[in-house]
Structure 1
Amino acid sequence: CIDWADVEAKRTHKTRAFIPVDYAGYPAGPGDTDLLIIQDAAHAPGGVAYGDMMCLSFHPVKPLATGDGGAILLDDGGQYERLQALRWCGIDRSTWQRSEKRYGWDYDINEVGYKCHWNDIQAAIGLVQLDRLDEMQQARRKIADLYQAELSDWVDFAADHPKHTNHLMPVRVSSHIRDGLINALLEAGYSAGLHYKPLTLYPMYKQETPPNTALAWRQLISLPIFADLSPADVVGVCDIVEHYVGVRSVAYG
């Protein structure tokens, strides 16, 4: 969870915007600030919209998958038109707009843009996925509820929220058994991951890791979760977690 008072305390005259991350699908806002909020909702389509801009990801492993790509949701006509141009090399008019009456080859480029536009196949997949979003989110919620019912005595869960989208299923265990538990799950045929290694531990960004981040990193494990995961597989995962944690220790190290 974000400490919004700390956000305000750390802003300077150079601060132009703040980018909160809806980690695992938990909404990081809304918060009490007058900063421009660019909401990273890559994990949270269908969640809480609280930013001035809301950025979504349609990567294959995300809840609303279309193959790849993403979208920005906003309520600002000027920024919308600018972003439309930026997504396609900075060109100010789409081919469709230039061809409505008769083909017009002329267009302007007012700033350097990118090549980030979709194709029709991805858009068609996206429309179908959008129709299924509520169904898929309800399935994830049921899986999350089953995990919590089975494992509440064995692991610590992250904070819950009525609009949590449950993209990931992070739990905390004792740091000295975390890696062994991951291996036990993998050996049984269940995927388990770590989301995420702190940036400060990579050579490119190396610096001192904040203490709370360092502690969480040593204890976190992501249990498998996706819309088609069966209740039997959830119970199978839980059986391994209960056995492994129970045999070794539940005390944090």
Structure 2
Amino acid sequence: MDRKRLAIDGGTPIRKSYLPYGKQDLDQSDVAAVVQVLQSDYLTTGPMIDTFEKSIAAYVGSRYAIAFSSGTAALHAACFAAGIKENDQVITTPITFAATANAIKYQGGEVVFADIDAKTYNISAEAIEALITDQTKAIISVDFSGQPVDYKKIREIANRYQIPFISDAAHGLGAVYEGEKIGSLADMTMFSFHPVKHITTGEGGVITTNNEQYFQKLKNFRNHGIVRDQEKLHKKNQPWYYEMQSLGFNYRMSDIHAALGVNQAKKIDGYLNKRIAIAQKYTEGFRDFELLTPPFQLEGVESSWHLYVIRLHLEKLTVRRKEIYQALQKENIGVNVHYIPVYFHPYYQALGYKKGLCPHAEQLYEEMLTLPLFPKMTSQDVSDVIMAVKKVLQYYEVRA
């Protein structure tokens, strides 16, 4: 069998079975936790919500955690709590899933995209400050791939202009910035529990915060804007009475999802250590391999390694990223691309955003590729990925 020729050209693939880029890890204890709730009196909002929220708050070191039905719902709630309204400008990064920007639009705000740092791929603090105007009402950063943004610099900017700082840390559970876990370094921090994230609730998200006012607004927003606290009602002394005091949504997490989250949360550090070990193997495997650049790591931060994103040296290759992607898929390596710059999407193009807005982000998009990374990967899986990437890139390498 010819293992040197690419599978896309009729050769034998590196792997017999397909390796996805991400995958949840569930065991019998997770199943038992969910079954226990299914046999209880609570399916929607019950005691597991509070237990899950407390476990996340304790892990990241925040005063409060508020659970939502999805990470997107949590981001929307954060924009509401921050007071974002019609025509308010909010600065964020284009290298993120569309939900980050969409949450701003849900509140009627204007999305202002700041370019990324060319090394870390995170939003640039300098780019943020250059875009601030009198209409800027918040900053939303993204810990892309699990590497923390420069929280110190962004915090200083937010304080200087007296605007809320929201962190989209969907990738960042367990990440560390200057010795402190992500979760209380911004005014509000969102974590996602989609199945490819560090732990899963099926679908779900949470906002962590140390601010009591944000906490109360977030709680009300996820439950139709309804208030039940007798001390905060306009009309008192009727024990059955509640009031809808603002326009909220049904963004509640169910006890079923929370039960899975509570059990998964016990395994965060174990999952994190596995991700770190895989990332280290990748970095070592690609050391001195001149056809790509592995992820850059800042001093003083510890990535949580949600993604391992390589940057292709296309000037040394005879094909573009599309052909590399297709060839690796044929080798049964589930590579992916994270992310299409948000303002490339037709919805944002129709709003008037033009290509060329963030040059570093756009250049990265043309060259980036996400490799498989999830806790259930074996050493053989990691070796297969390294071998396949080298095989494909060397096959397409420019020959002198």
CA distances 1:85-131 after superposition (whole Å, capped 9, x unpaired): 1101111138xxxxxxxx95320111000111111111111111111
CA positional deviation for 1:53: 0.6
Aligned partner (choices 26, 32, 43) of residue 171 of structure 2: 43
Structure 2 SS opposite 1:16: strand
Structure 2 SS opposite 1:20: strand
Q: Which runs of 5+ in 1 are unaligned?
A: 95-102
Residue equivalent to 1:84: 219
Structure 1 SS opposite 2:264: helix
Aligned partner (choices 147, 156, 172) of residue 26 of structure 1: 147
TM-score, reference length from structure 2: 0.58
2:342 matched to 1:195? Answer: no
Identity %: 29
Residue equivalent to 1:97: none
CA distances 1:142-179 after superposition (whole Å, capped 9, x unpaired): 00000000012232022225420110111011343422
Is the CA contact 2:295–2:309 (under 8 Å) kept in the aligned structure 1?
A: yes
136-145 or 7-16, larger mean C-alpha shift: 7-16
Give, in whole Å, the separation in 2 of the partners of 1:178 and 1:104.
Answer: 63
Structure with bigger RCO (C-alpha 8 Å, 6+ apart): 2
CA positional deviation for 1:136: 0.2
CA RMSD of aligned residues (A): 1.9
Aligned partner (choices 121, 136, 144) of residue 279 of structure 2: 144
Q: Give the paired residue count.
A: 243
Aligned partner (choices 161, 164, 176) of residue 303 of structure 2: 164
Is the CA contact 1:174–1:249 (under 8 Å) kept in the aligned structure 2?
A: no
Is the CA contact 2:147–2:302 (under 8 Å) kept in the aligned structure 1?
A: yes
2:355 matched to 1:208? Answer: yes
Residue equivalent to 2:325: 182
Residue equivalent to 1:240: 388
Partner amino acid for 2:339? Y
Is the CA contact 1:184–1:240 (under 8 Å) kept in the aligned structure 2?
A: no
CA distances 1:32-86 after superposition (whole Å, capped 9, x unpaired): 3113210000111122332111011111221121111111000111221111111
Give, in whole Å, the separation in 2 of the partners of 1:217 and 1:42.
Answer: 20
Alignment of 1:208-227 (within 5 A): 208-209=355-356, 210-227=358-375
Is the CA contact 1:37–1:52 (under 8 Å) kept in the aligned structure 2?
A: yes
TM-score, reference length from structure 1: 0.90
CA positional deviation for 1:248: 2.0
CA positional deviation for 1:199: 2.1
Is the CA contact 1:42–1:55 (under 8 Å) kept in the aligned structure 2?
A: yes
Give, in whole Å, the separation in 1 of the partners of 2:130 and 2:367.
Answer: 29
Aligned partner (choices 115, 118, 123) of residue 258 of structure 2: 123
